[in-house]
Amino acid sequence: MLVSLIFMAALAAAEPPAATVIPATKAEAAKPEAPKKVCVTEAQLGSHFKKKVCATPEEWERRRLRDQAEMSKMGDRTAACSGSSC
């Protein structure tokens, strides 16, 4: 009987305790994780000061696509105007 108690104690000591995370408050448990933001320092037109702009990767992609569309529109305008008639 003593051997079985020692054996059971050894097994209990060998198993790591189950990791449980208990939130401190209900607000922490219900609060979703905010998306990670990426910050970039941009030069401002007409100024020596730089501006820090932070956005999520999805917002950066939307901004890139919007800027690409605007640049495409500008290129289309200049392509139609050729020669001395412009």
> Does 75 map to a domain?
yes
* Confidence class for position 79, pLDDT limits 50, 70, 90: low
Segments forming the whole domain that contains residue 61: 35-80
Q: 52 pLDDT exceeds 70?
A: yes
Q: Residues 1-21: what's their mean pLDDT?
A: 57
Phi–psi pair at 74, nearest 5 degrees: -65, -40
> Does 12 map to a domain?
no
29 Cβ neighbours under 8 A, 6+ residues apart: 23
> Does 73 map to a domain?
yes
- CB atoms inside a 10 Å sphere around CB 15: 7
58 Cβ neighbours under 8 A, 6+ residues apart: 35
For the chain, how many structural domains are there in total?
1
Q: 22 pLDDT exceeds 70?
A: no
pTM over 0.75: no
> Does 50 map to a domain?
yes
Lowest mean pLDDT segment, chosen from 8-12, 27-31, 53-57: 8-12
Phi–psi pair at 31, nearest 5 degrees: -75, 120
> Does 63 map to a domain?
yes
42 touches 50 (CB < 8 A):
yes
> Does 9 map to a domain?
no
